[in-house]
């Protein structure tokens, strides 16, 4: 294999690794409204960051929409109203 092919294969493997990290991300679990996390925006940024890195490692233009959050951040107040405050069990 020539050096050019080796470099291209290493580039593809590195981009593929970024894709696999994104696919295995907790983002898929926290994306919907049925799960709450105060760090939802962190999962979202990490997920999009891996997808951006994949494009960059392939020397492709990163789509502009990968710079915009996918999930809308919520506040802890919203979670309290949605699920109710936790109360210790009487024992």
Q: Which of residues 17 and 85 earns the better pLDDT score?
A: 17
- Decide if 88 is inside a domain: no
The number of distinct structural domains making up the chain is 1
Q: What is the pLDDT of residues 32-89, one digit of tens each?
A: 777 777 788 888 899 999 999 999 999 999 999 999 998 665 555 454 455 556 666 7
Domain extent at residue 28:
3-81
Q: How far is CA 5 from CA 12, 13, 42, in A?
A: 10, 12, 36
pLDDT at 16: 97
- Decide if 22 is inside a domain: yes
Relative orientation angle of helices 40-57 and 3-23, to the nearest 10 degrees: 160
pLDDT at 91: 61
Is residue 27 predicted with pLDDT exceeding 80?
Answer: no
- Decide if 24 is inside a domain: yes
- Decide if 49 is inside a domain: yes
């Amino acid at each position: 294999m020539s050096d050019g092919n080796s470099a291209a294969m290493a580039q593809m493997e590195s981009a593929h690794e970024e894709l696999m990290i994104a696919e295995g991300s907790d983002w898929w679990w926290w994306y919907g409204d049925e799960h709450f996390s105060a760090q939802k925006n962190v999962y979202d940024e990490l997920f999009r960051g891996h997808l951006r890195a994949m494009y960059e490692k392939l020397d492709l233009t990163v789509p502009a929409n990968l710079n915009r959050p996918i999930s809308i951040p919520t506040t802890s107040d919203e979670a309290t109203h949605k699920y109710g405050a936790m109360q210790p069990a009487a024992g």
